[in-house]
Structure 1
Amino acid sequence: MNSGPVEPVHESRLRLAAYHTAMSPYELHFYNRLANELPAQMLVLNAYGDSSRQWRLATPLALTLEDLSAGDRTPQSVTLGQQRREWRRGGEVIERLKQQRSDALILVGYNDLGRLRTAFWCWRHSVPVLLRADSNLADEQGKSPLKLAVKRAYIALVRRLVTAVLAVGPLGVAYWKHYGVPGDRLYVSPYEPDYALIENVSDDEIAAAAERHQINRTRRRLVFSGRFVSVKRVDLLIKAFAQIANERPDWDLLLIGDGELRQELETMTPSDLRERVQWTGFMAEQREVNLLYRLSDVLVLPSEREPWAVVLNEAAASGLALVTSDVVGAAAALLRPGVNGEKFASGDLDGLAHALRTVTDPTAIDRYRAGSGEVLAAWRSEADPVAAVRDALRDAGVSG
């Protein structure tokens, strides 16, 4: 990441800044698209390093990426000390906005004092703020009335400070409408990967990946890709696979990723299935993950909380069927039950096992896989993240 001064302003171009959280390959792709397609002089200010995934990121020449983390990793809880650091970081962001003379700001997230300070400064100085957040209405289930009341009051404040909200999908739109954002200030700006990296892989590359990872290409494969943490419910997937394993003797389970629960998950895997469960560890190269999707048949995501999940975009673009819990945000847009996959109630082991049986049925699996391309194409024709930003800027009176 760059840490030097902001590059000189080219007056003929839109000056767009983004206050981001922890950078990932798909978000870097989004900002690069904005820089090239709006077009804009794009300044991205990154707040944190990622404590769980050390991606290999090459900053595109089209944008300037500054690291403001000072070594901070994505916080796992809210503390007074953390909020002090956020307040100071907000001041740094404001200084960068002054230097760039930003025409508008994309604010990613809204739940700390630094972002609140930045939004208030922008409001006072008539700099439009496009709030981008993956908040999901399904996440509100089970929260106490007091917590929901406090949240409603806080969001009412945030709502007054921002110009528009970039929701990432249908459940995001429902969330923001629930909290009072009018429809004419809502724009659907979904998370998405670099589809070209997924689509442009050769048979030789796939064959080489199979050899590297010792994958038998004559067998079918379920795949999970993500962190091994409790909220992802990889334990539920292993139990469900154990339930159907005897009925599906030609299927294996591929687990891509790593995390604090890996040893526990390996230990709980039944001994008679360990040869059919493969662990890759964390993969810093997204292209390698894409190749493993091409060697699989069904992506399974049993999370009990998942605001979006760009792995569904990746898997659908790779021609995989999808099985997810009913709280996964991306499933509302990318999974049509009976067409390209099945959903189950979050936490329901028997429901997950039933969904896996249905999708892996030898007479159905190829139909489900073919359906993913159709569903993804329909979604991409309806919602494009760059088009949403362009529309929001136009409606705010901002142009290059």
Structure 2
Amino acid sequence: MRILIVHNLLWAHYKASVFQALQHLVDQQPDLSIRVLQIARNERSRASLETATDADTPTYTYQYELLFDRFLEDISLTERAQALLRHARAYKPDVINLTGYYDPAQLLLLAWAKLNGIRVVMQNESTAADHQRSGWKELFKRSVFRACDGFFCFGSQSADYLIQLGVPPAKILLRKNAVDNEALRAVYEQTLPNRTRLQQSLHLQTNNFVFVGRLIEVKNLPMLLNAFAEALKRSVNALNWGLILLGDGDQWAELSQQIGSLKLTDRVTLLPGRPWFRVPEVLALSNVLVLPSRSEPWGLVVNEAMVCGLPVIVSERCGCVQDLVHPDETGFVFDPEEPDKLTQLMVKFMDDLVDTQRMAYYAQQYIAPYAPDVVAQEMLDGFREITN
């Protein structure tokens, strides 16, 4: 079986760890081969997240070809379509895994595959909750999905969305998303012994909530700041708690101003974004992750936090909540339009009304199956199922 995977961005490190695990499985079986076509190096909007490789940067080895060494936005439809078709014809795959239904170039490849009897697996990140959905777009998706033989989904909510659009449940071959659990945990454990010293050097509190991500409107950070300010008023242990916002984005200045107006300058710390494999250095200085997004297809930072044993407080509009956030075990879920609910949950942690050690244990137990080697095996099983 010859497997061809089409992926948008070489920068997407979380996928690289899965592709490496999949390559390892394929190399052990002489009847299999795999090739990954990376369309672009990165998106322009994520350019600031690119970093120069150093000795500590995790590297991943798998068979791939970078079609265009530039930003995805700068590659025309004609260029993408011609390159994908040329490489597919040369490789002669038995099955193709496409990134998504939103790229016309990949839809052309889908049509070519169906004409040539090649099986197609479509990846889906979307959920019914992450955007308002109606009209001709949903009808168009239904027609695209009918042409696919299987689907890899970012969790149960993503799978449920496809089923709502008429996809038979048997065609859902994967319901998971993974990060490099081992690499992240290693950095966390390496940093943890220096927690107090590093907190003091950054002028952080002894205990901290932490947000990790881009500082943009959809992340709902002004609401988080307001909820935290209110929690400080209600908690009996307010003096021991702070909030870290780790990331870059358009709202940096706005959030800085809000922090000042709320008189939180000694409680809220804005830290610039850092490479993904350095994020556990900040998680090691924190106690609880908060992800208050109004829309999030999955929320990989929840994986990252749980790998490090952190409890999580996550918006119900994040795709991962159904699979990863188990109330009173790994964390809590809240409505991002109800700041008072978030305040109540933060106060529970601040006033020691939550068994955080128990949550740390369950976080690592629940996240264990969401690892690259597990996801890779389920992908390979899915490829075999639809080609047989």
Shared fold (TM-score greater than 0.5)? yes
Equivalent residues, number: 368
Provide the residue aligned with 2:39 in structure 1.
Answer: 46
Provide the residue aligned with 1:98 in structure 2.
Answer: 89
Letter in 2 for 1:162: C
Provide the residue aligned with 1:387 in structure 2.
Answer: 377
1:149-206 Cα shifts (integer Å, max 9, x gaps): 3123211221232211111111011101000110111122422111111222475534
Kindly indicate whether the alpha-carbon contact (under 8 Å) linking 1:199 and 1:317 is maintained by their aligned counterparts in 2: yes
SS in 2 for 1:139: coil
Q: Distance in 2 between matches of 1:241 and 1:125?
A: 57
Aligned counterpart for 1:320 among listed residues 305, 310, 325: 310
User: What is the CA distance between 1:46 and its match in structure 2?
Assistant: 2.5
| Structure 2 stretches lacking a partner, 5+ long | 28-32
Instruction: Tell whether 2:266 aligns with 1:275.
Output: yes
Kindly indicate whether the alpha-carbon contact (under 8 Å) linking 2:187 and 2:278 is maintained by their aligned counterparts in 1: no
Kindly indicate whether the alpha-carbon contact (under 8 Å) linking 1:16 and 1:102 is maintained by their aligned counterparts in 2: yes
**Which has the larger displacement, 236-245 or 299-308?**
236-245
Q: Distance in 1 between matches of 2:207 and 2:13?
A: 28
Letter in 1 for 2:42: G
Q: Distance in 2 between matches of 1:210 and 1:86?
A: 52
Kindly indicate whether the alpha-carbon contact (under 8 Å) linking 2:39 and 2:80 is maintained by their aligned counterparts in 1: no
Residues 389 and 258 of structure 1: is their aligned pair in 2 closer, same or farther, counting only changes over 3 Å?
same
Letter in 2 for 1:30: V
User: What is the CA distance between 1:321 and its match in structure 2?
Assistant: 0.7
SS in 1 for 2:332: strand
**Which has the larger displacement, 314-323 or 31-40?**
31-40
| Structure 1 stretches lacking a partner, 5+ long | 1-13, 75-81
Q: Distance in 2 between matches of 1:204 and 1:218?
A: 20
Provide the residue aligned with 1:55 in structure 2.
Answer: 50
Instruction: Tell whether 2:364 aligns with 1:373.
Output: yes
Residues 194 and 390 of structure 1: is their aligned pair in 2 closer, same or farther, counting only changes over 3 Å?
same
TM-score, normalised to structure 2, is 0.87
Aligned counterpart for 1:121 among listed residues 112, 118, 121: 112
Q: Distance in 2 between matches of 1:171 and 1:325?
A: 14
1:17-56 Cα shifts (integer Å, max 9, x gaps): 2221233211111111111123443323224622224334
Letter in 2 for 1:235: P
SS in 2 for 1:390: helix
Q: How does 1:160-239 map to 2 (within 5 A)?
A: 160-201=146-187, 204-207=190-193, 214-215=201-202, 219-239=206-226
Instruction: Tell whether 2:271 aligns with 1:302.
Output: no
1:59-109 Cα shifts (integer Å, max 9, x gaps): 6332223143643349xxxxxxx8xx2243122111111222223221011
SS in 2 for 1:105: strand
1:105-152 Cα shifts (integer Å, max 9, x gaps): 210111131121111111111222111121112235x44xxxx23123
Q: Distance in 2 between matches of 1:278 and 1:253?
A: 6
Aligned counterpart for 1:110 among listed residues 101, 118, 121: 101
Provide the residue aligned with 2:323 in structure 1.
Answer: 333
Aligned counterpart for 1:31 among listed residues 19, 24, 28: 19
Cα RMSD for the two superposed structures: 2.5
SS in 1 for 2:277: helix
| Percent of residue pairs bearing the same amino acid type | 22
Residues 352 and 67 of structure 1: is their aligned pair in 2 closer, same or farther, counting only changes over 3 Å?
farther
Q: Which has the higher contact order (CA 8 A, sep 6+)?
A: 2
Kindly indicate whether the alpha-carbon contact (under 8 Å) linking 1:344 and 1:352 is maintained by their aligned counterparts in 2: yes
TM-score, normalised to structure 1, is 0.84
User: What is the CA distance between 1:254 and its match in structure 2?
Assistant: 1.0
Letter in 1 for 2:179: P
SS in 2 for 1:279: strand
Provide the residue aligned with 1:78 in structure 2.
Answer: none
Provide the residue aligned with 2:30 in structure 1.
Answer: none
**Which has the larger displacement, 45-54 or 295-304?**
45-54
1:326-359 Cα shifts (integer Å, max 9, x gaps): 1111111111112221111122111211121223
